Structure 1
Amino acid sequence: MNDILINIVIWAIPVLLAITLHEAAHGYVARMFGDPTAHLMGRITLNPLKHVDPVGTLLVPGGIVLMNAVTGASFPPFGWAKAVPVDFSRLRRPKADMFWVAAAGPAANFAQAIIWAVLLGLAVRMSAPGSVWLEICQRGMLVNIGLMVLNLIPVPPLDGGRIAVSLLPIRQAIVWAKIEPYGFFIVIGLLYFGMLDIVYRLVAPPLMRFLLLFSGV
């Protein structure tokens, strides 16, 4: 039990940053493209407390750590923050600009993964083997890759779903957008049947090798 609690604590910092900065990025890019809604509501901020959702930011990631410990699955903890409000109708080109607003979240996670890789290189040079900081940096890379991969699944309301809607011709986009009410259940099903774990096992190793180029280790 103590090992599981320690595991949750080590995951906590990178998970909290990954989820909250992901949401802030959506609001920032929406403002760039003409929608000030998130800015006016004070949601474009690096303060995690403005974004924390008790269930999505705390309970769900903690539950995934517990599930992984029991089942042996490897998909990193994920969750969600309070959604940053975006009024797509206020964007200058609503359908086209939706792409950039949606892509901002995964892009923020990829940027964080690179930063964690750089910090990993510094930690290796400054810390003893087995240091908790090495663990946190490694998990920072893993959780951001995991959140990026998850959000790029082309199922609305995930970012990948909104990206797909922005790229599809208008008729197909309308049909695809209608999946959104069922998107959460689709993702839970993919997680339950291990499909997300399979995707992660395929995608994560080459991405990790790429990220390690930034660490110099």
Structure 2
Amino acid sequence: MDFLNQILRVPLDQLPYLLISLIIAFTVHEFAHAYFANKFGDPTARLQGRVTLNPVVHFDLLGVIFLLIAGFGWARPVPVNRDNFDRPRQMGIIVSAAGPLSNLLLGFLGTMIYTALSQFGMLNMISNEILFIAVHNFFGYFIILNFFLFLFNLVPLPPLDGYRLLEDIVPDHVRIKLKQVEHWSILIFLVILIVPPLRNITIEPLWDVAKLIYFQFANFFIILFGG
């Protein structure tokens, strides 16, 4: 137990809340990509059984292990063939944005539900202390994690969604240049993730921004619910 606590970036007793949050966040994220790609005429993901909310088909064990140990991870990427779209650029933007926006939506809904439970006194009605703590811990991880994934996936470096968005937004001549240096961009991204000082000034601050987003939404719902 002590050995696992030393390896994991999350305390062992908090691991279930993180894992449940990750499963939901990753599953909805990848489903959103697959759903819109299929809707716009690309059957690639559907033929691989990816237009589903079944977490098993989106799960990548190695990606989750890396997230728990190294602080970054991934689900199984959804295959998308933009050549099947009637309007590749416009539809490609929507498909790429669908994943991060799904995490933003989950964080928004989580904040709304958690704030409502708090404002209307429902949390105080939970007499079981263990259940009370579990509810607080789950919403804490679920909300902040989804806001973080929303921000993280918008980073314009491959293989993140932000890079695919950038590709579809910029002019063709810029897109060609991006393709020419894409392998270097991937290397830069990996270095940022692996080297702690670089990660501390680039990726880690996104957690603080995620918390700020939560506070803004929470304040909105407190006012909305008459707090």
TM-score, normalisation: structure 1: 0.84
- Structure 1 residue aligned with 2:104, among 110, 130, 148? 110
Show the counterpart of 2:89: 95
Q: Please list every run of at least 4 consecutive aligned residues from structure 1 whose deviation after the TM superposition is greater than 4 angstroms.
A: none
Q: Is the 8 A contact 1:117 1:138 kept in 2?
A: no
Correspondence list, 1:152-191, <5 A: 152-191=154-193
The CA deviation at 1:182 is: 4.1
- The number of residues matched between the two structures is 203
- Higher mean displacement: 146-155 or 184-193: 184-193
Q: In the alignment, is residue 54 of structure 1 matched against residue 61 of structure 2? A: yes
CA distance in 2, matches of 1:214, 1:46: 28
Change (3 A) 1:199 1:142: closer
Alpha-carbon RMSD across the aligned residues, in angstroms, is 2.2
SS in 2 for 1:80: coil
State the Cα deviation string for residues 67-111 of structure 1 (Å, max 9, x = none).
xxxxxxxxxx55211111111111111123211110000010001
What is the correspondence of 1:13-162 to structure 2 with a 5 Å cutoff?
13-56=20-63, 58-64=64-70, 78-124=72-118, 125-128=121-124, 131-162=133-164
Could you list the runs of 5+ residues in structure 1 that have no partner in the other structure? 65-76
* In 1: Cα distance, 2:185 partner to 2:207 partner: 19
Question: Sequence identity of aligned pairs in percent?
Answer: 31
Task: Give the AA of the match of 1:188.
Answer: L
* Bigger mean CA deviation after superposition, 93-102 or 187-196: 187-196
Given that 1:20 and 1:51 are in contact with CA atoms closer than 8 Å, whether structure 2 keeps it comes out as: yes
Structure of larger gyration radius = 2
